[in-house]
Amino acid sequence: MLTAAVLLLAATIAAIELTWATRVLPSFGELGKTAGRAGRMVMRARVSEWAKEKAMRLMSMRMMGQSLRGAGLLVIVASPFLAVSLLDRLWPFGLGRAYGDWPTRLVLLGVSIAYVMVRRRFRRPAVKKATKPANFEQTWQRIALGNPAVLDLTFDMERSRFKAWPDDASGPIFVTGLPRAGTTVLTQLLHEQHGLASLVYRDLPFPLAPNGWAALSARLGRHVERAERGHGDGIQHDLDSAEAIEEVFWRHHEGARYSSPQGLSTIAPLPETVAAFRDYVGLVRRRHDGARYLSKNNANVLRLPALAEAFPDAVLLHPFRDPLQQALSLLRQHRQALQSAAEDPFRAEFMRLMGHHEFGADQRPYLFAGHPPADGDRDHIDYWLRLWISVHTALLAQPEHVRARQVFLDYDALCADAPAQASDLAASLGLDALSLDGLKAAPWRAVGGANRVLLARALVVHVRLCARSLNGATLPAAQRTRAYA
């Protein structure tokens, strides 16, 4: 099998070189441009039908020539693999067995990516740039998280090599809602105290292959000192901290359907995607020896009915805060994200690769009824207050099978008396116990400039949330109203 692996590697490197030499990718890019011009020609209202017909004939001939040229170039690029396959037929050396062996495929993938990065460095013209050059880790993450072929390959290999952990009575816990309401702190507490199965930083940059990547990277001995995360909010993390990585799965499988520059839509995921996600949850659980699955993913508010149907025993935990205080926290974090991206442009790109559009230049609203406009002023408190109203109104209006699994949690009230409420929260999550010692409330800040009509609507929604929440009645009214005095 070693001979087959070596020949596969040689064929891969040869195909990479032929891809550059033949310029096959720019060739298909030209085909796409021609098709685009043809489409725009057809849509022009002021062009006569005779002129359109003549232009379309010329463009059709051009597209045919470009298609034939592209097909020929593809054959040239694939010729090393065709040659190796032919050799295996004449003198069998185990090519099929080598290609089906997942460690061999992972090694080939890693070596190929490394070769591409090194080769690109040598091919790139020596031009001075004002921006900071990308380091190896950033390039690695771009390839692993931003390339659909790599995501497909790693997930397919994971599913073929490892069996998903079977379902049992311990339904998953999905922590989901708007950010800045204690979602990260609560997720970390649950993960650390109960050893729940969650995606962690160590699963990057191949989060769709948690078991395969864990086995392969174990020898690397990766270690990062525990430090404050980039949000500037005092929360510490390291490689084994639970984090919101799950959205990579949804972005890869469904991103073209629910994500657009205008925002994130509540489009029900396809049945095959839900089936694949069930497998994915089982694979993450296998990575953690069958522990109960724990997810922190704000964007899951878009797909609650599908999650409740796929996991009838799931718990959907929705932390929330005072509307004006949470809106202000969202605004402050948005400004922080813009500043961080200005200092390190890769941060914004990394958030996009992870499927996160909560803050920054690529912030996209959830497209629930009453959502803020895509071109709204994100530097004004009203944008975030409108977002708060639309998201929480939608959470309160879910169908019955979702309502039965929802647990609303007033984070302000929880922080006001955390030890006394720990047992109730643990019971609602199906846990024996939970320690909330050290949980700190966010400081209450004066907020000005909010639209009074929006604020009144937000307070009505907040009252409804408190009525549905596990602990909403425990915070004194004087504490709830001091921000508006």
Per-residue pLDDT tens digits of the chain, which is 485 residues long: 677 777 777 888 888 888 878 887 777 777 667 766 666 656 665 556 766 676 677 767 777 887 888 788 888 888 888 887 887 787 787 877 877 777 777 777 777 777 777 766 665 544 444 445 456 678 888 889 999 988 999 999 999 999 999 988 789 999 999 999 999 999 999 999 999 999 999 999 999 999 999 998 877 666 555 655 554 445 665 678 899 999 999 999 999 999 999 999 999 999 999 999 999 999 999 999 999 999 999 999 999 999 999 999 999 999 999 999 999 999 999 999 999 999 999 999 999 999 999 999 999 999 999 999 999 999 999 999 999 999 999 999 999 999 999 999 999 999 998 988 999 999 999 999 999 987 888 889 999 899 999 999 999 999 999 999 998 655 554 455 444 54
Q: State the pTM of this model.
A: 0.74
d(CA 384, CA 324): 9
Are 330 and 445 within 8 A, CB to CB?
no
d(CA 433, CA 422): 7
Residue 250's nearest CA partner among 226, 228, 282, 276 is 276
Are 191 and 296 within 8 A, CB to CB?
no
Residue 155's nearest CA partner among 311, 244, 277 is 277
d(CA 370, CA 389): 8
Ordered by where they begin, the domains of the chain are: 2-126 (no CATH), 157-484 (3.40.50)
* Ramachandran angles phi, psi of 75, nearest 5°: -65, -40
Q: What order do you get walking across the sheet with 173-175 strand by strand? A: 294-296, 173-175, 315-320, 406-410
Distant-in-sequence, close-in-space partners of 70: CB < 8 Å, separation ≥ 6:
24, 27, 28, 31
